[in-house]
Structure 1
């Protein structure tokens, strides 16, 4: 019996995985995707979706315009971004809070009008009392005054309740704002999100040993000083933000750091490539003119470039990029400069 069982066990073969033959790529997209995968393997990076997406964007820059257009059109059809959904939610919340604020304002005006009506009735009643021949009208006015007073009391109570609801909603919205990732004024990510992305990139660099860069961008101070119009400067700064979004890759993070200074996290981009990107940005902006009344103004930016390194904190990396902007200002012949820590 035992011998028979052993014999049956020997007859059972271990499962094997059959080799799968992959057909040679035929379309340009398949050929390019294989090239991206080979580049990842060559650089000793795991072919995770995130890394594949980064290399997919980076290598695409060197391809023909025809292929870039073809692939971008495909990507637009399948685009689904969780951050974009979050941004839309944030915008909806802020619009909703704005509507609540407007309702409160209308209610406050209504309360003011009721108070004004009460004062008018008091005045008219006094005028009637001065005329002894119309006592019946005085009686009607007194009755009406009592009714308006009751209504005013009810409205005042409801207005106070609405104010309490507004304050509670304001606290909720404030809590949401502390967790937001979007800058409504310029249509890009905010400082909080930027600092988080730099910190994440430092961790990724520590694990996979690739190179990434940070560039900080601002509208030329010389240009701002020549224009005595805050509204025009704001519009110019918004134009810069739109141009940054236009020229950025999907893997780049464009954010408003504060006071009209923007930042771009350039993943898997060394200093030389970051310098080329900065040069393209400066050229793109300089070719964009801004019209102020009958005056045509050529836009100009200054850029600071630095590397993202595991040896330094997020704040030190940002300061280094800001120092790059100062270096660019110190030399009138350049629009961008590299700042590396000693």
Structure 2
């Protein structure tokens, strides 16, 4: 996940800040290119009346880079990759490690439980054999050995039962910790994108930024086409298709975009500093990208298809209202079989 997030430099919109420096004006050395390009980004921010905050600088940095030649992009990206880091990515890695650790504890508990079951079974077998010896004419010494062995195994079984209880208690405590952590997570393990909680927080933050700086941002909601899901009618195949869509969204998104799983296989993308027209063009490209990705189910080739709802993020509406607006956009797209996406504005 972290590698995918770091490498997302390809834009999904046509909203581009003003540029002042051409490729020819940038030096060929990577460090020189980066210095000249950083000045260009700063000039663009000032020209558009935005404060040069780290977030705004990063957003414009990505967008202006799209207008450069491939050689220039490669030079600058090569420098960035040497020192690039992201707190959200570190949090995601921590979440994954914690969940993997919990899974390991769960496996240990399972192995211990099986061992305890086997010991109990062995005790029953020994008890049966002891009864058989007592009924036979075997020597007293043989029966004594059997009784002693049974006693030893019973003691071992008691110890194992006690230790198993301790492990079970530790497991329960760890489960509570994991549950508390999950209430604060930002990552969706199933699809490899951000989760709903993180999305809601980012939209709320964007509303506050729009109140202050009056720029335009958009939200798009993406869903695997319902008629496609109905025609496939295979839960496992639909899950694989949905995961394919998630990977394509990550592939085509910018670092400034927030790709999140809203729930039930429905995804959203928060497009910062992106007006509706640019969001429409981004949606067109997403639909085209997905439709060019065929999926094979047994001997059947299926063309993937998505439906998209587009809305604007405004300072006069709540996070919930904006989300509902994007949902209504998806429904509007379904009403017209010739439409892959639909716009529903909240700017009134």
Normalised by the size of structure 1, how large is the TM-score? 0.89
Distance in 1, matches of 2:74 and 2:289, equals: 19
Q: C-alpha displacement at 1:267, in angstroms?
A: 0.5
Q: C-alpha displacement at 1:167, in angstroms?
A: 0.5
State how 1:266-305 maps to structure 2 within 5 Å.
266-305=271-310
State how 1:250-329 maps to structure 2 within 5 Å.
250-329=255-334
> Counterpart of 1:206 in 2: which secondary structure?
helix
Distance in 2, matches of 1:84 and 1:203, equals: 24
State how 1:206-245 maps to structure 2 within 5 Å.
206-245=211-250
Distance in 1, matches of 2:53 and 2:233, equals: 51
Residue in structure 2 matching 1:182, options 183, 187, 190: 187
- The equivalent residue for 1:90 is 95
Q: Any unmatched runs of 5+ in structure 2?
A: 1-24, 28-32
- The equivalent residue for 1:205 is 210
State how 1:1-342 maps to structure 2 within 5 Å.
26-27=26-27, 29-341=34-346, 342=348
Q: C-alpha displacement at 1:44, in angstroms?
A: 1.4
- Alignment check: 8 A CA contact 2:223 2:307 kept: yes
Distance in 2, matches of 1:77 and 1:291, equals: 39
Distance in 2, matches of 1:164 and 1:116, equals: 24
Distance in 2, matches of 1:246 and 1:317, equals: 25
Distance in 2, matches of 1:273 and 1:70, equals: 28
Q: C-alpha displacement at 1:113, in angstroms?
A: 0.4
CA RMSD of aligned residues (A): 1.7
Q: C-alpha displacement at 1:75, in angstroms?
A: 3.0
Larger CA deviation: 251-260 vs 64-73: 64-73
- The equivalent residue for 2:6 is none
Q: C-alpha displacement at 1:324, in angstroms?
A: 0.5
Q: Which one has more relative contact order, counting CA pairs under 8 Å at least 6 apart?
A: 2
> Counterpart of 1:274 in 2: which secondary structure?
helix
Larger CA deviation: 290-299 vs 267-276: 290-299
Q: Which of the two has higher C-alpha Rg?
A: 1
> Counterpart of 1:77 in 2: which secondary structure?
coil
Distance in 1, matches of 2:187 and 2:113, equals: 32
- Alignment check: 8 A CA contact 2:26 2:37 kept: no
Distance in 1, matches of 2:278 and 2:81, equals: 26
Distance in 1, matches of 2:145 and 2:292, equals: 76
Distance in 1, matches of 2:80 and 2:284, equals: 27
Q: C-alpha displacement at 1:37, in angstroms?
A: 2.1
Distance in 1, matches of 2:310 and 2:236, equals: 29
> Counterpart of 2:63 in 1: which secondary structure?
helix
Q: C-alpha displacement at 1:55, in angstroms?
A: 1.5
Normalised by the size of structure 2, how large is the TM-score? 0.88
> Counterpart of 2:57 in 1: which secondary structure?
helix
Alignment size in residue pairs: 319
Q: C-alpha displacement at 1:32, in angstroms?
A: 4.0
Q: C-alpha displacement at 1:71, in angstroms?
A: 3.5
